[in-house]
Amino acid sequence: MTPIRVLTGITTSGTPHLGNYVGAIRPALATSRQPGIESFYFLADYHALIKVQEPARVQRSTLEIAATWLACGLDPSKVWFYRQSDLPETNELTWLLTCVAGKGILNRAHAYKAAVDRNRAEGQDDDYAVTAGLFMYPVLMAADILLFNAHKVPVGRDQIQHIEMARDFGQRFNHLYGGPAGTEYFTLPEAVIEEHVATLPGLDGRKMSKSYDNTIPLFAPRATLKKLIFSIVTDSRAPGEAKDADNSNVFQLYQAFATADETAAMRNAFADGIAWGEAKQQLFERIDAEIAPLREQYEALIAKPAYIEQLLRDGAARLRAQYATPLLLRLREAVGLRDLGKQVATAKTVSTQASLPVFKQYREADGKFYFKLVDGDRVLLQSVGHESARTAGQLIGRLKQEGGAALQQAETVAVKLGEELIGHLHEGVELAEIVEALAQFAVEDA
Ligand code: TRP
């Protein structure tokens, strides 16, 4: 049985905090220990350059994040652990994908759109201070994923759109350059949303996040950890007054580290009016009990940067040999970056294959307006005649938008959209092929 490949990227733009630990690191390492899984963890340092243009911070963050994952139990002899920029294939694949990625799709990426919206709100030019790096972010991320044909990518909700884009670019590439089913170049990845892992509140009660500056660094020294925990915002209920566990940041943090029994006991203590100082003290002890041994590991690792450097380089070297280099050889061949000494006899068939399905509109001698859906050399669908070019065009618009879901096959080769007869299947064509061809448009306009 081939293992399920699970891939996780971490942007090297900050210092890991408790929210990262509970929401990403701890569950990811738990998953990696399950049987039948091949895990890929990498430091997304190319991505970091989009946000952080301070070299020392990129370097420091890369070291801290690498040391954090190792300290938390990542075993580089059992999982792939590497740095994005150690794989030149990432860049090469980014370009190949750039050339199939729809610009219109990238226009709709949340991060880019948010930047444009902010500029509009401030009366600036749409693309003011937007780099092409931010715009291309999803293509680089797709390359990370498709380079290893990952099946599953655990992500937060904000990243789902990026996985959908990776699927789209991979699918387009497969469609343009791939052979029959089963010989595609790319596996289409799925986003995995961890529903049951907690989102931790930060010091101010909003989600713990470096963008809110409300984080508790995972490996803050014990004294700092204590100070930060005691600075968590609470309400002003006095000792002895019953406290609302469900609306308390202190309780939520406690729950993320405690067993079910400990949590139940803390819930009772809240109802009994535990003082905030006492609750925070218990929270501090509970977190420190879990973190202290890891912190010790972390400090030992941080003191050995050359060792970590070697580990990462070694991971990348093995990965390149096993996956990345052979894949890029195939992809270069696929797109036509080829050895000129080896002439390919099938140049013609390749060029006809290399086309997306298109609608062709034309007028017949009967004065009516028609269209065909054509995929390469093959006519898939032949429309009925329309009185005007506009109605024909509107129908094409609907087919592109709605996709094949509403299509039905009526008497033998007739095709209906809802109740309306719109055309017929060309000889030897099955409705499923039309549905699949329409999916290409639907993805484009999603
Ligand atoms: N964009 C991800 C984040 O900000 C990091 C990332 C880069 C990533 N490449 C990836 C995550 C590939 C998963 C797969 O969190």
Question: How far, in Å, is the centroid of ligand 1 from the Cα of 314?
Answer: 22
Q: Is 43 in the pocket of ligand 1 (CB under 6 A)?
A: no
Q: Is 44 in the pocket of ligand 1 (CB under 6 A)?
A: yes
Q: Is 7 in the pocket of ligand 1 (CB under 6 A)?
A: yes
Testing ligand 1's pocket by substitution, the residue of 41, 146, 162, 164 carrying the most ligand atoms inside 8 A of its CB is: 162
Other C-beta atoms lying within 10 Å of the C-beta of residue 31? 17
Q: Is 152 in the pocket of ligand 1 (CB under 6 A)?
A: no
| Domain 4-198+304-335: which CATH number of 3.90.1150.110, 2.60.120.10, 3.30.160.100, 3.40.50.620 | 3.40.50.620
Note the pLDDT of residue 442.
Answer: 61
At residue 416, φ and ψ (nearest 5 deg) are: -115, 145
Biggest CA–CA distance in the chain, Å, is 91
Testing ligand 1's pocket by substitution, the residue of 25, 47, 136 carrying the most ligand atoms inside 8 A of its CB is: 47
Q: Is 47 in the pocket of ligand 1 (CB under 6 A)?
A: yes
Note the pLDDT of residue 318.
Answer: 98
Between β-strands 414-417 and 420-425, what pairing exists: parallel, antiparallel or unpaired? Answer: antiparallel
Name residue 373's beta-bridge partners.
Answer: 359, 381
Name residue 381's beta-bridge partners.
Answer: 373, 425
Question: How far, in Å, is the centroid of ligand 1 from the Cα of 8?
Answer: 7
Query: Can you read off the two tokens belonging to residue 314?
Result: 């070694």
Note the pLDDT of residue 137.
Answer: 97
Compute, in degrees rounded to 10, the torsion defined by CA atoms 313, 318, 320, 325: 150
Q: How far apart are CA 339 and CA 333, in angstroms?
A: 8
Note the pLDDT of residue 353.
Answer: 47
Other C-beta atoms lying within 10 Å of the C-beta of residue 141? 25
Q: Is 11 in the pocket of ligand 1 (CB under 6 A)?
A: yes
Note the pLDDT of residue 1.
Answer: 72
Residue 156 CA: which ligand 1 atom is closest? 15
Between β-strands 407-409 and 152-154, what pairing exists: parallel, antiparallel or unpaired? Answer: unpaired
Q: How far apart are CA 361 and CA 371, in angstroms?
A: 4
Helix (H, G, I), strand (E, B) or coil at 327: helix
Find how far residue 383's CA is from the centre of its chain: 39
DSSP, res 75: -
Residue 150 CA: which ligand 1 atom is closest? 14
Instruction: Tell me whether domains 4-198+304-335 and 358-445 share a fold.
Output: no
Distances (CA, A) of 110 to 45, 115, 441: 21, 9, 21
Q: Write down the CATH number for the domain with range 358-445.
A: 2.30.29.80
Per-domain residue ranges of the chain: 4-198+304-335, 219-302, 358-445
Residue 7 CA: which ligand 1 atom is closest? 14
Q: Is 145 in the pocket of ligand 1 (CB under 6 A)?
A: yes
Query: Can you read off the two tokens belonging to residue 246?
Result: 């469900």
Q: Is 165 in the pocket of ligand 1 (CB under 6 A)?
A: no
Q: Compute the C-alpha angle 112/116/122, nearest 5°.
A: 145
Burial of 175 (0-12, 13-18, 19+ CB in 10 A): buried
Question: How far, in Å, is the centroid of ligand 1 from the Cα of 153?
Answer: 9
Between β-strands 152-154 and 378-383, what pairing exists: parallel, antiparallel or unpaired? Answer: unpaired
CB 173 within 8 A of CB 97: yes
Q: Is 209 in the pocket of ligand 1 (CB under 6 A)?
A: no
Print pLDDT tens along the chain (446 aa): 789 999 999 999 999 999 999 999 999 999 899 999 999 999 999 999 999 999 999 999 999 999 999 999 999 999 999 999 999 999 999 999 999 999 999 999 999 999 999 999 999 999 999 999 999 999 999 999 999 999 999 998 889 999 999 999 999 999 999 877 777 899 999 999 877 777 899 999 999 998 899 999 999 999 999 999 999 999 999 999 999 999 999 999 999 999 999 999 999 999 999 999 999 999 999 999 999 999 999 999 999 999 999 999 999 999 999 999 999 999 999 999 999 998 765 544 444 445 678 898 898 888 999 999 998 778 899 999 999 999 999 999 888 888 788 888 888 889 998 888 999 998 888 888 888 888 877 655 44
Nearest CA to ligand 1 atom 11: 9
Q: Is 147 in the pocket of ligand 1 (CB under 6 A)?
A: no
CB 24 within 8 A of CB 8: yes
Amino acid, res. 327: L
Nearest CA to ligand 1 atom 9: 141
Q: Is 90 in the pocket of ligand 1 (CB under 6 A)?
A: no
Q: How far apart are CA 257 and CA 254, in angstroms?
A: 6
What is the end-to-end Cα distance of the chain in Å, rounded?
35
Query: Can you read off the two tokens belonging to residue 105?
Result: 């799709």
Find how far residue 122's CA is from the centre of its chain: 30
Note the pLDDT of residue 439.
Answer: 80
DSSP, res 17: B
DSSP-derived secondary structure for 213-279: T---BTT--HHHHHHHHHT-----PPTTS---GGG-HHHHHHHHHS-HHHHHHHHHHHHTT--HHHH
CB 90 within 8 A of CB 78: no
Residue 8 CA: which ligand 1 atom is closest? 13
Q: Is 433 in the pocket of ligand 1 (CB under 6 A)?
A: no
DSSP, res 100: T
Q: Does domain 219-302 have CATH number 1.10.240.10?
A: yes
Sequence-separated contacts (24+) of 371-375 with Cβ below 8 Å = 371/395, 371/396, 373/399, 373/434, 373/437, 373/438, 375/433, 375/437
Q: Is 141 in the pocket of ligand 1 (CB under 6 A)?
A: yes
pTM attached to this predicted model: 0.78
